[in-house]
A and B are shown apart, each in its own frame.
Chain A
């Protein structure tokens, strides 16, 4: 398990096999986060931008 903290509320978040650009929701504050860096078992998250007008299936 790799770990990181929510940039919005600092909650601890764990992810199995994190992948860069992986998206996840902060279980504490609900912020939509993206994995931007993985070093060993440390993850750095950033808040994802709002969806673009051409996003989807």
Chain B
């Protein structure tokens, strides 16, 4: 019997559905609780619970990344790979990868100092968007309306710690219909897509912030952009692609590597966890 190791720190609805999907396919789910384990990274002793393949589901990005790397160094296969996860976990690295692959993405400038950040903003023009390079759920993604707000937000971030002192500043994409697209890439297929609609007066469409989800047809354009974006960050895995729609068309905002699908399943009726597990089992062969 095939065993799939699920590396978790939280077991949410998403993880429970993955566990069910594994059982339904006659395989064995092995939940690896991040909190209950230590790793020998110099010796060859291996106390990692044995599985044929591992699926990374950690909510804590950095811990998840380290565990994936350790598992890979010990010869195990992890979905997604460490290299690709490292790129997705960091918006700066993702943008570099997307730009290198020639994929349309919002114009982004990076600065490490408030004064040079303000200079960058003169080029981008206001309003612009600032984001922490590591982070999710729309946390601290802010609209910079003018020079004064930009300065005070950057000043605050300097006090928030090292993670926030890399100023990732981006052109503001005015959304047509206030909608974003989230598509799901599993292996070499786009299996689902939803629109995410922001609540009134909110820049961010995140469902964690009250945004609403609607079904979205997978058009050839969405399919093509999504597959290229997944490929650009390493491919061969499960990805959530965030697409913004502005007046110049679709641009890829970012690529997520440990996708949540609790909103997508009820809205689209697509068995996202089932399709993820089918792909994981395919990779065991």
Contacts and interface: CB of A to CB of B under 8 A. Distances in A.
Interface residues of A, number: 16
Interface stretch (B37-45, B99-107, B213-221, B255-263): B255-263
Central interface residue in A17, A51, A53, by most chain B CB within 10 Å? A53
A57 B258 contact: yes
A57 B256 contact: yes
Given A53-B135, A55-B137, A57-B240, A19 B19 contact: yes
Interface of B: 8-12, 15-16, 19, 31, 33, 35, 59-62, 89, 132, 134-137, 139, 161, 163, 240, 256-260
Nearest to B19: A19
A34 B15 CA distance: 14
Nearest to A20: B33
A13 B119 CA distance: 55
Given A21-B35, A23-B11, A52-B60, A57 B135 contact: no
A35 B16 CA distance: 13
Given A54-B135, A55-B136, A55-B137, A20 B260 contact: no
Interface in A4-57: 17, 19-23, 34-35, 48, 51-57
Contacts of A20: 11, 31, 33
Contacts of A57: 136-137, 240, 256-260
Contacts of B16: 17, 19, 22
Contact of B10 (A17, A21, A54): A21
Contacts of B9: 21
Contacts of A22: 10-12, 15-16
Nearest to A35: B11
A23 B33 CA distance: 13
B163 to A, nearest CB: 6
A54 B260 contact: no
21 contacts: A19-B11, A20-B31, A21-B9, A21-B35, A22-B10, A22-B15, A23-B12, A51-B59, A53-B132, A53-B134, A54-B62, A55-B59, A55-B60, A55-B136, A55-B137, A56-B59, A56-B61, A56-B139, A57-B258, A57-B259, A57-B260
Nearest to A54: B61
Nearest to A22: B11
Contacts of B136: 55-57
Contacts of A35: 11
A57 B260 CA distance: 7
